[in-house]
Chain A
Amino acid sequence: MGKAVANKLGDYLDSFKTCLKIDSAVKGSVTHELRTHLEDRSQELKETGLSEEEANKAAVEFFGSPRLIAQQIYEVHSQGTWQEAFLAALPHLLVAFLFATYYWQNIFWTSITVIVIACTVIYGWCHNKPLWFFPWLGYYLLPVIVTGALLIYLPQGWTWVAALAYLPLALFTIIYIIKQTASRDWLYVSLMLAPLPVACAWLLALGAGDEFLTANVHLARLQPNIPWIALSFLVLAVATFTFTRVKQRWCKVATLLIPVSIVFASVALAGSRNIGFWGWLVLIISLFVVASPAWLQSRA
């Protein structure tokens, strides 16, 4: 009975923590603060003659809905500053810049970009994973995926050997990073993976559908589309900037998924002649991977 009474406040705080999707350190501090308040109120009620069970129950009732309070606290902490919003959009701007200036063909500038992304990710990872860090993390995963794709170019026979060795490692890395990101907030998984469907749509639209998977990439098709590629990453930058600045969860979902879906659909439909069955399958899976965490969380 005593344990059940003590658990009344614990259950309330557990429910609050489940609803609150913010940085774990801040969440711990806020929860502790609320616990001290509930304990003070319960103690005061007990001094008026209520039993422990009645006091805890009343303290929780006076306090209000854990879901509503978590939502209001989320709205305070989820809004990034202008600087954070700019930092979050920066990797997309860098990629757009690389394409717009044709620097993507220059190994020096491409290497510099990769190094900047790697260093930023390491810095963000070591500094409690701030909000702006997740779009950078998404680009950090791209080499893992690209390396997997490059295995196709190996001589016949070696592809399977390399894939068997590489795929478990790559999957482990991707799953580990997604798990770490989801532990903070599932919405950040969508934010992190936002470039994936856009990049996939471009790769498949510019390649020759199923032939792309057998290494037949038509680079000549890339040149006239460079401004559009730059523009699509610019749209991602604007979406990320807005995502960081808005407060409500549903607004974050909308500002991220609507632009990504529009860019994705435009590119995929424009290049639909080049996309075969497997290409469409890859595209649908990539969009599903990005949209499902955000969609599920908006309903949670």
Chain B
Amino acid sequence: MSYERELLKGNTDCLLLSLINSQPTYGYQIVKELQQKSNGYFQFKEGTLYPALHRLEKDNLIKGKWQMLPNGQERRYYYITKNGQQVLARRLATWRDFSTAIRSILQSETA
């Protein structure tokens, strides 16, 4: 497994919770947003998103609901739960501390 893929796998939950926290959304839109916001950095098989979404839902961090769009099509929208918001806040704090520590070490190495 490549290093980038390992990093993505380790942070999938945080990325998904963050996107769903900003607005309720559905699977295809999540894929598009991940690709757009990362300028195409995140490349993965789109279907692998759904096991992650279902796992988060089972852990009661998000909630999926079928909704009818104005054009009559249905989409399963995901909403973040209170539990999910708390978990996201904790993970973001951990991530900030972690990235600050990593950056300070790597900068001193490259300086």
Using a CB–CB cutoff of 8 Å, the interface residues on chain A facing chain B are 29-30, 32-34, 36-37, 40-41, 62-66, 68-69, 72-73, 75-77
Contacts and interface: CB of A to CB of B under 8 A. Distances in A.
B5 interface: no
Interface in B26-43: 26-28, 31
A37 B48 contact: no
Given A34-B50, A76-B54, A64 B45 contact: yes
A62 B45 contact: yes
Interface residues of B, number: 18
Contacts of A62: 45-46
Given A34-B47, A76-B51, 13 more contacts: A30-B50, A30-B54, A33-B27, A34-B50, A36-B73, A36-B74, A37-B28, A37-B50, A41-B46, A63-B45, A65-B45, A68-B48, A73-B54
Contacts of B51: 69, 72-73, 75-76
B9 interface: no
B54 A40 contact: no
Which 6 A-B residue pairs are closest in the complex by CB-CB distance? Answer: A64-B45, A72-B51, A64-B47, A69-B47, A63-B47, A40-B28
Contacts of A63: 45-47
Interface string B41-76: 000011110110011001000000010000001111
Contact of A72 (B28, B48, B66): B48
A133 B81 CA distance: 30
Contacts of B47: 34, 37, 63-66, 68-69
B50 A33 contact: yes
Contacts, number: 57
Contact of B48 (A33, A41, A64, A77): A64
Contact of B46 (A32, A64, A72): A64
With a 10 A CB-CB cut-off, give which of A32, A36, A41, A75 has the most chain B CB atoms.
Answer: A36
Contacts of A68: 47-48
A36 B48 contact: no
- Per DSSP, chain A at the interface is helix
Nearest to A63: B47
A247 to B, nearest CB: 10
A62 B51 CA distance: 16
A76 B58 contact: yes
B91 to A, nearest CB: 20
A298 B28 CA distance: 32
Contact of A32 (B31, B48, B54, B74): B74
B46 A76 contact: no
Nearest to A33: B76
Given A30-B54, A75-B51, A36 B75 contact: yes
Contacts of A66: 47
A180 B66 CA distance: 28
Contact of B50 (A40, A41, A73, A75): A73
A77 B54 contact: yes
A41 B55 CA distance: 23
A62 B48 CA distance: 10
Contacts of A75: 51
Contact of A69 (B26, B48, B66, B73): B48
B55 A37 contact: no
